[in-house]
């Protein structure tokens, strides 16, 4: 049965953003090199989502969280409050001379009635990008892995009362299936859900400016990066494979929100639209990464933000963390 996102997780309203002031100096520890590609973590915010593990991951047993508690606390699970910890971050990728942003967070000034903690934010995300050496006009390509509220926010910004593309030169790659699904003209469930207003303020203005390129199936970005459909979390959810030299990486979007889903890949987040497809896609992609020793970069992992995994029987285990500093 299809239900709206809001019906399934009203506690998303309890999200508490923790913005970190970006350093004015570029922090080399925040950037890694994979083959001919560099990857930099750009933080919008991090902190507790206001949901317990059972709320965020319905049906995940308490003893499973207990079993992995040492690995999860405090970066991914609060030590005292038992609340799931996540981050909002963009992966800044420089490849073949182009500046690419993967996912654009929640954004500023947006009206978000279903998620008060994301309503009318005023965070210095553009300052964080500037600290990494990127001005909005430098961005060549924006990749929205899917069109949930927390992946398209900085697609636009408010200028003189109008939503305009934040990145004036960029092409924005969006999955066609999500472009159709989240348009309120096609989907009565958007009203009142977490994606209320999102199409209007963060997707349509970019489309009207002629900057959106819709894709489906597989889309080759360049010789190092390939977008692939990974449906389940949303109909158009996608991942980006990186293959450069001998290095491999996988930008996983929202296929996992916590390292626990590496150990127990059948547990979906409450934000997954199609439970069976999300489980199948997660298992398949984690397997792809484990078999290639690929660095896994989810959209919302806190702590070191990215990890390496290995097969462990029917599931997987965490075999290492990326060298990004812990939040």
Q: Which residues bind Zn ion (CB under 5 A)?
A: 150, 254
- Closer to Zn ion by Cβ: residue 196 or 254: 254
* Contact residues for 97 (Cβ-Cβ < 8 A; gap 6+): none
Q: Which residue has the tokens 């497809």?
A: 277
Give the shortest CB-113-to-Zn ion separation in angstroms.
Answer: 18
CA distances from 182 to 59, 158, 176, 178, 256 (A): 27, 21, 10, 6, 21
106 vs 141 by CB, closer to Zn ion: 106
Taking the CB of residue 304, how many other CB atoms lie within 10 A of it?
A: 17
3-state helix, strand, coil in the chain (%, to 5): 25, 30, 45
Comparing CB distances to Zn ion, the nearer of 271 and 316 is 271
**The 171-175 sheet, strands edge to edge:** 31-34, 37-48, 85-95, 98-102, 141-143, 171-175, 212-215
Q: What is the DSSP track for 227-280?
A: EEE-TTSSTT-EEEEEEETTEEEEEEETS-SSTHHHH-TT---TT-SSHHHHHH
Nearest to 274 by CA among 230, 306, 321: 230
The least CB distance from residue 63 to Zn ion, in Å, is 27
Return the number of the residue (94 or 300) whose C-beta is nearest Zn ion.
300
Q: Minimum Å distance from CB 317 to Zn ion?
A: 24
Q: Minimum Å distance from CB 254 to Zn ion?
A: 4
Closest contact distance (angstroms) between CB of 212 and Zn ion is 19
Question: Closest separation between CB of residue 91 and Zn ion, Å?
Answer: 13
Q: Of the two residues 75 and 254, which places its CB atom closer to Zn ion in the complex?
A: 254
How far is it, in rounded angstroms, from Cα 306 to Cα 295? 7
User: Which of 272, 271, 324 lies closest to 302 in space, CA to CA?
Assistant: 324
What dihedral angle (degrees, nearest 10) is formed by the CA atoms of 63, 67, 68, 72?
Answer: 60
Question: Closest separation between CB of residue 269 and Zn ion, Å?
Answer: 9
- Taking every pair of Cα atoms in the chain, the longest distance, rounded to a whole number of angstroms, is 56
What is the smallest separation between the CB atom of 259 and Zn ion, expressed in angstroms? 16
Name which of 44 and 150 has its Cβ closer to Zn ion.
Answer: 150
Are 203 and 174 a contacting pair, CB within 8 Å?
yes
Q: Closer to Zn ion at the Cβ: 150 or 273?
A: 150
Q: Which is nearer to Zn ion, 139 or 301 (CB)?
A: 301
């Amino acid at each position: 049965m299809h239900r709206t996102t809001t019906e399934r997780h009203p506690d998303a309203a309890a999200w508490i953003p923790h913005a970190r002031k970006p350093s004015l100096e570029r922090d080399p520890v925040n950037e890694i090199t994979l083959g001919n590609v560099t990857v930099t973590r750009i933080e919008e915010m991090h902190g507790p989502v206001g949901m317990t593990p059972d709320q965020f991951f319905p049906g995940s047993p308490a003893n499973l969280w207990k079993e992995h508690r040492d690995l999860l606390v405090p970066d991914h699970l609060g030590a005292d409050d038992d609340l799931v910890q996540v981050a909002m971050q963009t992966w800044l990728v420089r490849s073949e001379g182009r500046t690419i942003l993967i996912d654009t967070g929640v954004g500023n000034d947006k009206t978000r009635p279903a998620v008060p903690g994301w309503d009318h934010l005023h965070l210095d995300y553009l300052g964080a990008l500037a600290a990494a050496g990127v001005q909005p006009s430098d961005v060549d390509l924006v990749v929205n892995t899917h069109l949930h509220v927390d992946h398209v926010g900085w697609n636009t910004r408010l200028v003189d009362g109008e939503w305009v593309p934040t990145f004036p030169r960029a092409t924005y790659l969006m999955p066609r299936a999500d472009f159709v699904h989240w348009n309120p003209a096609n989907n009565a469930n958007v009203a009142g859900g977490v994606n209320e207003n999102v199409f209007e303020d963060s997707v349509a203005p970019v489309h009207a400016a002629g900057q959106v390129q819709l894709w489906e199936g597989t889309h080759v970005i360049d010789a190092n990066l390939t977008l692939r459909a990974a449906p389940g979390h949303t109909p158009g959810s996608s991942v980006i494979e990186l293959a450069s030299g001998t290095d491999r990486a996988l930008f996983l979007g929202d296929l996992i929100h916590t390292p626990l889903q590496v150990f127990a890949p059948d547990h979906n987040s409450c934000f997954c639209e199609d439970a069976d497809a999300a489980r199948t896609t997660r298992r398949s992609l984690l397997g792809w990464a484990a078999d290639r020793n690929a660095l896994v970069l989810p959209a919302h992992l806190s702590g070191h933000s990215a990890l390496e995994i290995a097969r462990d029987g029917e599931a997987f285990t965490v075999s290492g963390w990326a060298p990004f500093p812990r939040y």
